Structure 1
Amino acid sequence: MGNWGSHLYDRPPQKLGEFVQNNLRPSEDCQKQIDQTVDTICKVLQDAEQLPLVISVARGGSYGRKTVLRGNSDGSLVIFISDLEKFQDQSKNHSELLSQIWAQLKCCQLTRKLEAKMEIQNFNSGPTTIQLFAKEQSITFKILPAFNALGLSEKPSPWTYRDLKRSLDMMKASPGEFSVCFTELQERFFNNLPRKLKDLILLVKYWYQQCQEKLAVSFQLPVYALELLTVYAWEQGCGAEDFDIAEGLRTVLGLIRKPGELCVYWTVNYNFEDETVRNVLLGQLRARRPVILDPTDPTNNVSQDNSCWHLLKLEAETWLSFLNESPGPSWNVLPASLYSTPSHHLDKFIKDFLQPDKTFLDQTKKAVDIICKFLKENCFRHSATKVQKIVKGGSTAKGTALKNSDADLVVFTDLLKSYTSQKNERCTIIKEIHKQLEACQQAQDFEVTFEISKWKAPRVLSFSLKSKVLNECVHFDVLPAFNALGDLKSGSAPSPKIYAELISLYKSSDILGGEFSTCFTKLQRDFVRSQPTKLKDLIRLVKHWYKWCERKLKQKGSLPPKYALELLTIYAWEKGSGVLSFDTAEGFRTVLKLITEYQHLCIFWTVNYNFDNEIVRNFLLAQMQRTRPVILDPADPTADVGGGNRWCWHLLAKEATEWLCSLCFQDGSGYPIQSWDVPYRHQEAVEQGYILLSVSCSLDVGDSWTDSAGRNL
């Protein structure tokens, strides 16, 4: 493979970080000489009396982004001129300005002592450039006069981008033509990135450079596109300052293998709130893929060389297959966001990106069966305590798991003879289970990692099963529980006495609602698992959206549990559709619409408990008068997973409102998809409870019954 093979193909993955530091980063001496020379040039340009007032000089390109490769690299010096008062002015007196700048640069070259050698080139048909040399390092800078679009602000306003769109239309200019005006934003965007991520960027750029040499082709794709793709891969798949650089490289090359699906953008400087900007963005997101938008200029798609992407795709496949005799680990990163996925592609999005790999699910099932058998046979084997059964719960058991999802193993032992004993004795049981899981890890051939609880009296033991081949894992919580249901057969409803006892304990003590929901894991699991396959896929989609919100909003407040959204999705389908084959976009839109109306939601089911028993009936009626949203766990009436004001539903509602404008909810012609007509509450169940209450309290059927906020139930 010649130079290509000796430099990258044969590089062991664990040595890639060392390779970057020793071969790809510019030497500190060279960088320092060039930095000092650039400082001098910028000062000369800003102080020049022969030029119109220079507001500032921004540093762009690889130099400004601090992603300079050792050897030859690129940069730009963007000179913001006071005479350029709008975007259109950049073509005004352009030649004259460049001539004046050239004269100042020539003067600087002759009169100033520069740390790096400088050569100036002035082309009649192209930009003025200067080339700086310091030993083995050279950087070619474009000199670009520009309109100062930001003014004195550090961040652009929507008005800036509205003006940008208007100027492009007026001049019939190419999208991205005025991106240079946002050079300072590009610099800031990259300044916030960790050093190791910039090392990964250097590695990707080096790979790209080697592709060009190998194929003897000069690609038209700006290297900036690959820099942004690398940033996107890290943000979505890792986000840590310290990471495995080989995993990062595999991830980026894996994305390059899917150019027809790539749609990458940011909302750090612009977003969907302003109508004009939103329309520009949606227009870009509808464009033929790949799409990689400049985070500083929504009109600038930096990835539009399809022939280049095809060649890079083939090279990425070759490199990955050569590097890995078996697949190596990479980050789980989608080539496009859900927001940018057209409505008619949502089913494919779920199938391609959200459903866990079947091979991994089979591996997980076998491993979990081994763990359950081991725990049942080995826990408390030297005492009279026995494990009665282990029930599998969580997303994996319910059939709604995403990649890297969660599962519960609820361990029922005869030591726990009541709800209160569960609360008092679970710490002892968790310690025993932990000891046995460590023994199981040594005895069995699968990888288990533990996360030990920091609490003195832990409620749960957490561990993970990771695939040695696939980039997936399942996170487990092991929870001890009282066997409240006994030997209840599948499909049977529990005795009302079970719930009456739970409700009496709840009302007479300080326990929280849902404290003992683990006792009813089997009912929770069966309720969701019995739903149609396509509905469970819709739940996956809603949970993926929730995870996106969680990542964005984690610093702003505590969001409601995912289980609340699972139940809300089931309710939306039951009341709005009820058919096995439905439009996924309509269902998704309905769920988000209900979230925006969270203050009116009162939802519950009567599959496991109902209004027949007086204690349960009175409790349910009291639950329905709680602050909205009320979403009762169909397995445990004390668990209101809607939670009223307990969680920040308003944050989810705000996101849901913004998402209703996304491509997910537009048809091929750009018209909005309709949602299902769904009531805010289970009316027939409410009416049943109302009638029973009327009989027991001797009320007239015509009397109105309202909740604490005065709403008619």
Structure 2
Amino acid sequence: MFRMGSLKSYNCEQCGNDFVSRTALRYHLRAKHLGKVHCEKCGREVLRETLQDHEVANHERMTAERQGCFWDMPSKREAKFVAIEMSTSCRMCPRKFGTIHSREHHEKQDHHFTASKRAQMATGFSPDNILDYKNPTELKRFVEEKLRPVPGPASIACATEIEAIINLIKECFPLPIARLIKGGSYIKGTDTQGWSDVDIVLFSEAFENLEDCKKKLPEVIDDLGKRLKKSSWASRIMMEKRNQSSLRFHFKCYKNHHGHSFDIMPCYDMLGPAPSTGFKQSFYHKIYLCNDTDEIQLYSMSLLQYQVEFIKASTMKVKDLIRLVKHWFRTSFAKPTAQNKFRRLPSSYAIELITISIWQLAGKPVFFSLIQGMRAILMLLVRYPEMCIVWHKHYSPNSTIFKKAFQKQTRPFILDPANPTFNVCENSNAWDEVAHVARRSLLKPLFNGVQAKEPWLFTNDW
């Protein structure tokens, strides 16, 4: 319980919602939480008697085939397209709350998540970190030699193999395909040496509507997985555990021995290849009114092409900066432990959008210093509660959906340029850790004595 102004408010410890009386709180507990327990693996609240079935359906263990794989497992793929209230999930336990404030209060009270503990759990600079470089030349050389994909015959061979596996997916797909959309870092041009991800959305007219798609999806995904396992490429495909809406596997390029993470998503085509402005606004309205996370995921698959186009339109220099910031995330944060296994750092899509926004604030320079660009991004991350980034290519600032999303005033706030209902920052519950590591990074040798220069002078106000 806490005091709000002159009125008492009664807080539900299960979900963080507030109520004006104890009676209202008791009614809420009986209606929403009675007989339910938290799944220790995913944090979802499920009926006690269905917990075992939930674990079998959603958390099956790795098969012997995956455990015996011949190349290193990559990091877990992030949640796609939509936020699933990660920002209100505890970092140390599976509890979820109604507000970020309630979640933070719980972390302090129940887990003693102090500033010193946050610093200890967040920071993990790897040996020979790029932040220890002494000059811009070293950083530029690192990007060109270690991060940017190698051009030439190797790149051509890689592209040929990826196109071949996509054709195989089309051949193995058990339904007729009306339209296909490609996404992921490989398609956007933000992939790095040694690893990339590829998203494939397959639209089929065999799905009569959204409900029919949801009903048939598990069988379609299972069928596709079985066919791929029987194909001539099976030895180079490592399946992940089944996902609610997609088939995920890792594919090994034969010649230069690097990997690609594939996410195959069958879907009912709700938007079409060239929707009118009015139809698109109606589509956004349906997403906004939808309360089913799985349905929102299916709706949002139709927007992948616009997300890809937005990132892909960036210059090569901006994509190098994106690669650099992603590398900073991979090499500057402590790995999650059993104690904070529910921590979620910002998605790679959020990183891409932040980088593009900073570049646009600088006036979209064609040539610029990577150190200046990275310094500006880290300074913005330190001030994450003030972050408010929006674009209006696909929706008007006067649209009702945009206004409602903007009025929520959740921070940090980065509105998906293709979806006015999606704040991409909500996929993370660790922005305070990001700010801490960014602050520490700015004290490293790479930024020693570095001052803002044109066109980055706007950072002097930060």
With the shorter chain as reference, the TM-score category is 0.5 to 0.7
TM-superposed deviation, 1:588: 0.7
8 Å contact kept, 1:514–1:636: no
Q: Contact 1:602–1:624 (CA<8 Å) still a contact in 2?
A: no
Q: Which residue of 1 aligns with 2:157?
A: 363
Q: Deviations over 1:673-697 (max 9, x none)?
A: 56552699xxxxxxxxxxxxxxxxx
2:356 to 543, 565, 570: 570
Which of 377, 381, 385 aligns to 1:599? It is: 385
1:434 aligns with 2:225: yes
The one-letter code matched in structure 1 to 2:377 is V
Structure 2: distance between partners of 1:567 and 1:574: 10
Q: Do residues 336 (structure 1) and 128 (structure 2) align?
A: yes
Aligned equivalent of 2:405, options 596, 617, 623: 623
Q: Given the superposition, is the C-alpha separation of residues 601 and 513 from structure 1 closer, same or farther in structure 2, using an over 3 Å criterion?
A: farther
Separation in structure 1 between the aligned mates of residue 255 and residue 353 of structure 2, nearest angstrom: 34
1:509 Cα shift? 2.8
Query: Match for residue 190 of structure 2?
Result: 400
Distance in 1 (CA, whole Å) between partners of 2:154 and 2:267 is 28
Residues 574, 604 of structure 1: alpha-carbon distance in 2 compared, 3 angstrom cutoff: same
Residues of 1 paired with 2:214 and 2:69: CA distance? 40
Distance in 1 between residues matched to 2:402 and 2:295, nearest whole Å: 13
Contact kept? 1:376, 1:389, Cα under 8 Å? no
Residue 43 of structure 1 corresponds to none
Give structure 1 regions of 4+ aligned residues with deviation exceeding 6 angstroms.
none
Does the aligned pair in 1 maintain the 2:131–2:445 contact within 8 Å? yes
Deviation sequence 1:118-149 (CA, Å, 0-9, x none): xxxxxxxxxxxxxxxxxxxxxxxxxxxxxxxx
- How does 1:232-631 map onto structure 2 within 5 Å? 336-344=128-136, 345-358=138-151, 359-380=153-174, 385-403=175-193, 404-440=195-231, 442=232, 444=233, 448-454=236-242, 458-488=244-274, 495-511=277-293, 515=297, 516-553=299-336, 556=340, 557-611=343-397, 617-626=399-408, 627-631=410-414
- Would you say 1:664 and 2:446 are equivalent positions? yes
Cα-to-partner distance string for 1:343-400 (whole Å, 9 max, x where unaligned): 41222111111122334443332122222223334423xxxx4112322211000000
Letter in 2 for 1:632: L
Give the whole-Å Cα distance in 2 for the aligned partners of 1:518 and 1:389. 12
Distance 1:587 1:451, change over 3 A: same
| C-alpha deviation, 1:341, in angstroms | 2.0
More contact order relative to length (CA 8 Å, sep ≥ 6): 2
How big is the shift at 1:583? 1.1
Work out whether residues 464 and 473 of structure 1, in 8 Å CA contact, stay in contact via their aligned partners in 2. Answer: yes
Counterparts in 2 of 1:474 and 1:624: CA distance versus 1, 3 Å: same
Distance 1:461 1:513, change over 3 A: closer
2:434 is aligned to 652
Compute the TM-score of the two structures, normalised by the length of structure 2. 0.64
Contact 2:245/2:294, CA 8 A, preserved across alignment: no
CA distance 1:512–1:341, shift in 2 (3 Å): farther
Q: How does 1:161-200 map to 2 (within 5 A)?
A: none
- Give the aligned partner of residue 677 of structure 1: 458
Change (3 A) 1:377 1:508: closer
d(CA) in 1 for partners of 2:142 and 2:220?
42
Distance in 2, matches of 1:546 and 1:347, equals 18
> In structure 2, how many angstroms separate the alpha carbons of the residues matched to 1:335 and 1:349?
15
Name the CA shift for 1:642/1:477 in 2 (closer, same or farther; >3 Å). same
Aligned 8 A contact 2:288 2:401 in 1: no
Conserved in 1, the CA contact under 8 Å of 2:322 and 2:352?
yes
Q: Structure 1 residue 623: deviation in Å?
A: 1.2
User: 1:401 Cα shift?
Assistant: 0.4
Question: What does the per-residue CA deviation read over 1:277-331, in whole Å, with 9 as the maximum and x for residues that have no partner?
Answer: xxxxxxxxxxxxxxxxxxxxxxxxxxxxxxxxxxxxxxxxxxxxxxxxxxxxxxx
CA distance in 2, matches of 1:420, 1:596: 43
Q: What is the RMSD of the two structures over their aligned residues, measured on CA atoms?
A: 3.2
Amino acid at match of 1:372: I
Look up the equivalent residue of 1:453 and give its one-letter code: K
> Any stretches of 5+ residues in structure 2 without a counterpart?
1-67, 73-125
Contact 2:284 2:419 in 1 (8 A): no
Q: 1:500 to 1:362 in 2, by over 3 A?
A: same
1:584 deviation in Å? 0.9
Distance 2:197 2:134 in 1: 28
Provide the C-alpha distance between the structure 2 equivalents of 1:630 and 1:545, rounded to a whole number of angstroms: 21
CA contact (8 A) 2:378 2:442 kept: yes
Distance 1:514 1:664 in 2: 42
Which amino acid letter does the alignment assign opposite residue 188 of structure 2? Answer: K
Residues in 2 aligned to 1:564 and 1:434: alpha-carbon distance in whole angstroms = 30
CA distance in structure 1 between the aligned counterparts of 2:295 and 2:221, rounded to whole angstroms: 22
SS of structure 2 residue aligned to 1:386: coil
TM-score (norm 1): 0.43
Q: 1:407 to 1:664 in 2, by over 3 A?
A: farther
CA contact (8 A) 1:572 1:678 kept: no
Aligned residue-pair number: 332
Equivalent position amino acid for 1:582 in 2:
F
Q: Given the superposition, is the C-alpha separation of residues 570 and 480 from structure 1 closer, same or farther in structure 2, using an over 3 Å criterion?
A: same
CA-CA distance at 1:502 after TM superposition: 3.7
Contact conserved, 2:287 with 2:296, CA < 8 A, in 1? no
Identity of aligned residues (%): 26
Point out the structure with max Rg over C-alpha. Answer: 1
